[in-house]
């Protein structure tokens, strides 16, 4: 009997781990590593170069669909699925594999964007590419397309061609590309092979399923039961909690399992935050979300903005959060569910968001943490969140700065948000996490303790502080010198130093800033414009020729300008550009080395074979009533000043009081 029991255990241990949708009590944070048209920011080489920094804060990075789509694309018009066709808008297949491998070495899991609701054809309505992988050939045909695709247009075309379509769609129809029939055995076989390849060949950690409204949740369950990803999240875009949890329940049908097979993005959470902020009524945060449901919060991937909701342009305003971006992220990172931070928010507020993540980690918050409302007022919403190690409080709203609660110490504070730690943690705290910062870095030191009269001691050379080290009162802000500095902080209570924390800073003597480059092509009649960037101090990757396809436009002085933004990272940094129609020819001469916002007109005259440029100086600044300024945004919708201050802004065009304004 004993031998039989041991043999049974050996057999069971040899079976593959069963997927359960999303890990229980998961403490990780995810980054959405792209935004719309983020071809430069989301290059595989650019993301890989940030691996060390990202690993300090994130455990997962969700990247765009990585297969070749037959042209410049964010990946949602997927064409190729298997290796050999992975030179995409974000880099080569080799670069993709290197990035995933580097992320894995640093402890980051890469989440694949899986687009299987629909597929682009490359030869007529029903001509899909034939692909061979590991000796097997995969081909989809008209029989793999939903019979009622495109509201009946696909059937009309099929009748013209004399081909037969598959069964009716098991979800919502999408008019744009061919909706795949997931009842088809051929579709199921190819999808399973594709997902196995992503996990086992490329090394992805899991999947983000696009547009799961388009087919029954049963198939997500089926595919996950077959491939066993540790992480799976579906994009079921709906504000109704019960509709999304119903989809989750459908996923557990796959393989006959009882467990839910996939998490879902918590759109209801996102909408409660949007409504609270845009409506200036913080009580709306009490509205239900997946993260508030005890039976489902484990499977809630929470977020406050993504590539589909962000402000893109005046012609595509979308549905963004219009203010209080930091407060939105503060609420996100102090709640149950697995938070997914938007790349634009991370780029704009690394210091603040990394500090929020540090508090979340210190307390041990996880996707199933209990979160209880403490104060629910129009100008203030506060809640308590229980982690594995301790408890914290978050306050958001107009009156967040005045909130306090006995037994908790404030450790973070910003515009309309504050974080508090339970005094039982008995630790020192520094509100700036390890990282690289610009000059004039200031750090707030705090003693989180139940002991009366505790002070803070610190050193700047990496040594452990002693009672004779630098001593300050709790709540004191200190200056960090330029260079490589190791800050070590402890609490001093009754002559004893305890609760030590350490931060490592690289502080430069330069403040990075963003410039805009604007191009008018009226004289040459270009309807498209690529920006090929190169040069600088090496901190910003250039583009591969013919460069970035720029679609952002703005009208100034009755002229339409293509524009893009670039960060100047050091005293020696600059950017040079060449403009073209996107095919590489025709093109312009090189610009000079740029360190400030510049406007160019492409002239209808040439230097050799290249069009000349005119550096335009006729763009007039607008006089601003500084007493009436609200929050200031870049043209991409990034908040650059939450209090309406224009002093110190770099040259460029901003949105102030809802209008485009040139700061000169």
- Find all residues with CB under 8 Å of 546, minimum gap 6, and list them: 530, 532, 580, 582, 583, 584, 587
The Cα 503–Cα 514 span in angstroms is: 27
**Longest Cα–Cα distance in the chain:** 91
Is it the case that residue 348 has pLDDT exceeding 80? yes
Task: Provide the CA 571 distance to its chain's centre, in angstroms.
Answer: 29
Strands 338-342 and 548-550: unpaired
Torsion of CA 286, 290, 296, 300, to 10 degrees: -120
- If one compares 105 and 311, the residue with the highest pLDDT of the two is 105
pLDDT value of position 538: 86
Average pLDDT over residues 508-517: 86
423 in Cβ contact with 449 (< 8 Å): yes
Torsion of CA 396, 400, 405, 408, to 10 degrees: 70
Average pLDDT over residues 221-239: 97
Question: Which class for 504: exposed (0-12), middle (13-18), buried (19 or more C-beta within 10 A)?
Answer: middle
What letter does residue 297 receive in the DSSP assignment? G
Q: How confident is the model at residue 647 (pLDDT cuts 50, 70, 90)?
A: low
Beta bridge partner(s), residue 520: 601
Instruction: Using alpha carbons, list the distances in angstroms from residue 37 to 73, 81, 110, 456.
Output: 8, 21, 20, 46
Q: How confident is the model at residue 351 (pLDDT cuts 50, 70, 90)?
A: very high
Average pLDDT over residues 367-386: 98
**The pair of three-digit structure tokens given for residue 433, joined into one six-digit string:** 């996490």
Record the pTM: 0.83
Q: Which residues of 252-286 are buried (b: 16+ CB within 10 A; e: fewer)?
A: bbbbebeebbbbbbbbbbbbbbbebbeeeebbbbe
The Cα 408–Cα 448 span in angstroms is: 8
- Find all residues with CB under 8 Å of 162, minimum gap 6, and list them: none
Task: Provide the CA 247 distance to its chain's centre, in angstroms.
Answer: 24
- If one compares 235 and 515, the residue with the highest pLDDT of the two is 235
pLDDT value of position 180: 98
pLDDT value of position 54: 98
Beta bridge partner(s), residue 549: 530
The Cα 83–Cα 237 span in angstroms is: 30
- If one compares 187 and 646, the residue with the highest pLDDT of the two is 187
- If one compares 508 and 645, the residue with the highest pLDDT of the two is 508
Q: Which of 125-139, 283-297, 338-352, 535-549 has the weakest average pLDDT?
A: 535-549
244, containing H or E segment: helix 241-251
Q: How confident is the model at residue 641 (pLDDT cuts 50, 70, 90)?
A: low
pLDDT value of position 466: 97
Mean pLDDT, the chain, integer = 91
- If one compares 569 and 381, the residue with the highest pLDDT of the two is 381
pLDDT value of position 2: 39
Is it the case that residue 94 has pLDDT exceeding 90? yes
What is the per-residue pLDDT across 127-174, written as a single tens digit (0 to 9) for each? 999 999 999 999 999 999 999 999 999 999 999 999 999 999 999 998
Mapped onto helix, strand or coil, the DSSP state of residue 319 is coil
pLDDT value of position 650: 56
Strands 496-507 and 435-437: parallel
What is the per-residue pLDDT across 16-62, written as a single tens digit (0 to 9) for each? 444 578 999 999 999 999 999 999 899 999 999 999 999 999 999 99
What is the per-residue pLDDT across 523-544, written as a single tens digit (0 to 9) for each? 999 999 999 999 999 888 788 8
């Amino acid at each position: 009997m004993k031998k039989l029991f041991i043999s049974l255990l050996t057999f069971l241990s040899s079976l593959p781990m069963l997927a359960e949708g999303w890990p229980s009590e998961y403490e990780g944070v995810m980054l959405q590593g792209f935004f719309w048209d983020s071809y430069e920011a989301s290059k595989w080489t650019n993301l890989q170069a940030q691996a060390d920094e990202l690993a300090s804060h994130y455990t997962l990075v969700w990247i765009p669909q990585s297969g070749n789509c037959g042209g410049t694309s964010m990946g949602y018009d997927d064409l190729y699925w298997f290796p050999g066709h992975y030179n995409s808008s974000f880099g080569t297949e080799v670069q993709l594999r290197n990035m995933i491998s580097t992320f894995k070495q640093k402890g980051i899991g890469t989440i694949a964007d899986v687009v299987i609701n629909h597929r682009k054809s490359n030869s007529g309505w029903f001509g899909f590419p034939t692909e061979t992988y590991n000796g097997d050939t995969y081909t989809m045909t008209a029989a793999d397309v939903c019979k009622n695709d495109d509201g009946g247009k696909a059937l009309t075309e099929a009748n013209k061609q004399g081909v037969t379509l598959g069964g009716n769609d098991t979800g919502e129809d999408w008019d744009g590309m061919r909706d795949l029939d997931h009842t088809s055995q051929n579709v199921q076989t190819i999808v399973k092979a594709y997902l196995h390849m992503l996990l086992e060949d490329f090394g992805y950690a899991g999947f983000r399923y696009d547009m799961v409204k388009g087919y029954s949740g049963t198939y997500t369950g089926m595919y996950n039961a077959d491939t066993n990803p540790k992480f799976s999240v579906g994009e079921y875009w709906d504000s109704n909690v019960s509709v999304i949890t119903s989809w989750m329940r459908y996923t557990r049908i796959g393989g006959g399992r009882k467990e839910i097979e996939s998490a879902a993005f918590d759109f209801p959470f996102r909408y409660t935050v949007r409504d609270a902020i845009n409506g200036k009524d913080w009580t709306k945060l009490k509205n239900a979300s997946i993260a508030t449901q005890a039976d489902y919060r484990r499977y809630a991937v929470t977020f406050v903005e993504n590539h589909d909701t962000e402000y893109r342009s005046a012609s595509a305003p979308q549905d963004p959060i219009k203010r209080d971006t930091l407060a939105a992220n503060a609420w996100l990172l102090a709640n149950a569910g697995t938070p997914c931070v938007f790349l634009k928010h991370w780029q704009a507020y690394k210091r603040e968001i990394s500090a929020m993540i540090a508090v979340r980690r210190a307390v041990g918050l996880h996707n199933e943490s209990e979160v209880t409302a403490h104060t629910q007022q129009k100008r203030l919403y506060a809640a308590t969140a229980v982690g594995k190690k301790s408890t914290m409080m978050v306050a958001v709203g107009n009156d967040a700065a005045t909130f306090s609660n006995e037994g908790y110490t404030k450790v973070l504070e910003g515009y309309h948000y504050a974080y508090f730690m339970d005094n039982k943690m008995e630790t020192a705290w520094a509100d700036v996490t390890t990282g690289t910062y610009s000059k004039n870095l200031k750090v707030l030191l705090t003693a989180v303790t139940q002991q009366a009269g505790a002070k803070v001691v610190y050193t700047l050379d990496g040594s452990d502080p002693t009672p004779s080290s630098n001593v300050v009162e709790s709540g004191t802000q200190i200056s960090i010198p330029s260079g490589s500095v190791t800050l070590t902080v402890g609490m001093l209570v009754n002559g004893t130093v305890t609760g030590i924390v350490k931060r490592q800073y690289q502080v430069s003597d330069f403040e990075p800033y963003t410039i805009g480059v604007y191009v008018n092509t009226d004289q040459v009649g270009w309807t498209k414009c690529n920006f090929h960037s190169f040069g600088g101090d090496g901190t910003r990757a250039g583009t591969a020729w013919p460069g970035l396809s720029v679609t952002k436009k703005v009208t100034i002085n009755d002229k339409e300008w293509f524009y893009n933004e670039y960060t100047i990272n050091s005293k020696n940094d600059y950017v040079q550009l060449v403009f073209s129609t996107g095919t590489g020819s025709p093109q312009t001469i090189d610009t000079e080395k740029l360190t400030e916002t510049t406007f160019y007109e492409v002239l209808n005259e040439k230097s050799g074979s290249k069009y000349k440029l005119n550096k335009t100086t006729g763009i007039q600044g607008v006089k601003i009533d500084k007493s009436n300024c609200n929050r200031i945004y870049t043209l991409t919708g990034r908040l650059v000043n939450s209090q309406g201050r224009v002093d110190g802004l770099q040259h460029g065009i901003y949105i102030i009081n809802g209008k485009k304004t040139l700061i000169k």
